A and B are shown apart, each in its own frame.
Chain A
Amino acid sequence: MAAHNLKHALFCAIVTLVIAYPILGFNLVASGTDIILEGAKTRTVILVLLAAVAVFLFQLFRDNVMALLGKAPALNPLANRQPMEQGKRLKLESIVLTLIIVGALFWPFFVSRGAVDLATLVLIYIMLALGLNVVVGLAGLLDLGYVAFYAVGAYTFALLSQYYGFSFWLALPLGALLAALFGLVLGFPVLRLRGDYLAIVTLGFGEIIRILLNNMTSLTGGPNGIGGIPDPTLFGMEFGRRVKEEGNTSFHETLGIAYSSEHKVIFLYLIALVLAVITALVIRRLMRMPVGRAWEALREDEIAARSLGLSRTAVKLSAFTIGAFFAGFAGTVFASKQGFISPESFVFLESAIILAIVVLGGMGSQIGVILAAIAVTTLPELAREFSEYRMLIFGAAMVLMMVWRPQGLLPMRRTHIELKAQE
């Protein structure tokens, strides 16, 4: 056993060196038209060697380490905690949620403009993640082209405002409906496919949308994107210093307060907040309705669900369309927040980030997904020096989550009726 372990450990250490050293140990540097090879810094080389040693030691004492890790949960004081009683938990949850929403309503008036801007982005990601959560978490359909629907929402608003002068409030439902229509049209043929094929087809669809946006230069401006997207108005009141459109009044003049550019940022934040809350509530309701139960039934066992009379196409299509609808919602808000959109914002990586949020938070769990969206969007901003490692850490986290905790950090818990023992 020991000899076998030693051999295996040595092998693993060598593999570590082989995969790490050539890529990390040498840097390809362009000098003029030629490329030259430079050795990396001594620190990198030492780190690679240390990694190899660490792998060697871990593999050598693997059994001992694993046994120690197995004991670790016993040290966790919360391990044996009884789950809270259901009625109490629900009450506590609703109180906490109300407090959070009330806090979120007043919070932007006390912080800096940058923080509010970031919070708006977080809310957009929350909408996206909640929408994708319906598709991936509840219905179990892996959609890798989710960003395409986000793009449809954003471009609908941008194009309608550019060519026909539509306002935000008119474009918001239109963008969401058009995204839902795209979801319906794409979903109808492809939802017959098995899980992993579906993933690839949606990925291909996302790429096709992006390439089309990039190349239909006369309509979408191609890689240059579309600028000058109008800000939302409040009952005909504009937030700019001067009124742009006839018939509108300006916010600061109507209320008789001094002009401040922060008004607009806070207003956008509040819109995003309201929409995110609506998204969460609607999806929460849907989850408890027959259609929500059907999504989960089909995810758990397709054959059993179909034999009980559920229509596979109708159930999957509803999840796909609703997911797309909320992506369109988020897209419209995004376009209005940025004032400028280009295909650059709708790459596959964006889909992967939203998927990572859903996976990290716990598929199907709303609270988990919301917390994960906040963490994933704000952490790179807080730790600027780590931001270049952001995607590296995402990738690693996705793998580790799948290996150790596929149900996510805060797995979904459903309300249920408990049988009481007869007395």
Chain B
Amino acid sequence: MQDLLYFFQQLINGLTIGSTYALIAIGYTMVYGIIGMINFAHGEIYMIGAYTALIAITGLAALGIAWLPVILIVALVCAMIVSSSMGWAVERVAYRPVRGRHRLIPLISAIGMSIFLQNYVHLAQGSRNIGFPALIEGGFRFGSADSFQTSISYMQITIFITTLVCMTLLSLFISRSRIGRACRAVSQDLGMANLLGIDTNRIISATFIIGAALAAVAGLFLGMYYGSIDPLFGFIAGLKAFTAAVLGGIGSIPGAMLGGLILGVAESMTSGYLSGEYKDVVSFGLLILILLFKPTGLLGKPEVEKI
């Protein structure tokens, strides 16, 4: 019984983390699906989202506003606006001029952008990690009080539900809206979509904006969940999210969700049953194994090499 409760605890923790990974992974997978590049600076955009959210939360606290829904919504909206603008600007400055060149050139440009943004926040806000208020406290507990208890906090529930809502909205947007249809068209064939009168530059910008906005949501939640942020924390989270995107099949949106959840659970099982230090080793090892044995991921389509 106790083992089972322990297992469920790890599963719940894993699903919480995994759902935020999935939110970040959407940004990687959409950009890759459309222009075929790894947006290396995406992890930094997520980190900037977390910082903006924290600034908004402390700002509201200074103004004396303490009603939780207002704080959450204002922080979310601020983070999404700043991150989306950042995503748009990064695409314009660093990626659009090098689009269509040799594969390595946009990637190196993206790495440069990632270093730049990390140090931008580092210089502006200092390198120390800053505590992030939990905001949502309390939770349910299962199991008898004298042995191990499985706890589900309200924060975990909020994170999980918000992620689900975001994913549903995104799926509806992609499948129903005009821009969503254009997105799908561009990802199938950019040149053809252009010929048919779709403004592909706008669609690519839209992709970056959507990805950045979702990353900002993840930034707020992971900041709250971990309880502190620093300018470097986007880097590892970005790598994990990229792993999730590859795991699910890069270019596929349901794949990113699935990959995120699997990765989150795998990680929390490692820290629960082996040791917390090795959870990064497990996720990078997983990434290497997938790329070696099933580079298309779980739900991805095989890529045909054109001559």
Contacts and interface: CB of A to CB of B under 8 A. Distances in A.
Contacts of B66: none
A68 interface: no
Nearest to A196: B38
A395 B307 CA distance: 34
A18 B115 contact: no
A392 B89 contact: no
B48 A398 contact: no
A102 interface: no
A203 interface: yes
A197 B295 CA distance: 9
**What's the interface size class on B, roughly?**
35 or more
Interface in A34-79: 35-37
A403 interface: yes
B59 A37 contact: yes
Nearest to A140: B104
A26 B52 CA distance: 10
A30 interface: yes
**What's the interface size class on A, roughly?**
35 or more
Interface in A6-30: 15-16, 18-19, 22-24, 26-28, 30
A340 interface: no
A97 to B, nearest CB: 28
B120 interface: yes
Chain B CB within 10 Å, residue with most, of A18, A19, A212, A359: A19
Contacts of A144: 111
A122 to B, nearest CB: 21
B125 A22 contact: no
Given A142-B107, A193-B295, A30 B115 contact: no
B150 interface: no
Given A15-B88, A23-B125, A28-B130, A398 B112 contact: yes
Interface in B43-96: 48, 51-52, 54-56, 58-59, 62, 78, 81-82, 85-86, 88-89, 93-94
Nearest to A35: B58
B108 to A, nearest CB: 5
Contact of B98 (A140, A391, A403): A403
Contact of A204 (B114, B118, B239): B239
Nearest to B235: A348
A76 B88 CA distance: 35
Classify the secondary structure of A's interface with B: helix
A139 to B, nearest CB: 11
Contacts of B116: 392, 394-396, 399
B291 A193 contact: yes
B123 A402 contact: no
Contacts of B307: 303
A399 B246 CA distance: 25
Contacts of B133: 35
Interface in A151-206: 189-190, 192-197, 199-201, 203-205
A278 interface: no
Given A23-B125, A28-B54, A201-B291, A391 B278 contact: no
A352 interface: yes
Contact of B82 (A19, A388, A392, A401): A19
B88 to A, nearest CB: 7
Nearest to B229: A28
A183 B267 CA distance: 27
B105 interface: yes
Interface string A384-418: 00001101101111110111001000000000000
Contact of A23 (B121, B128, B235): B121
9 contacts: A22-B51, A28-B54, A35-B133, A193-B295, A195-B107, A199-B38, A204-B288, A391-B118, A406-B101
Given A22-B52, A207-B239, A208-B284, 8 more contacts: A18-B82, A26-B59, A142-B107, A195-B103, A203-B239, A395-B112, A395-B119, A402-B98
Q: What are the nearest 4 A-B pairs in CB distance? A: A398-B112, A395-B116, A395-B115, A204-B284
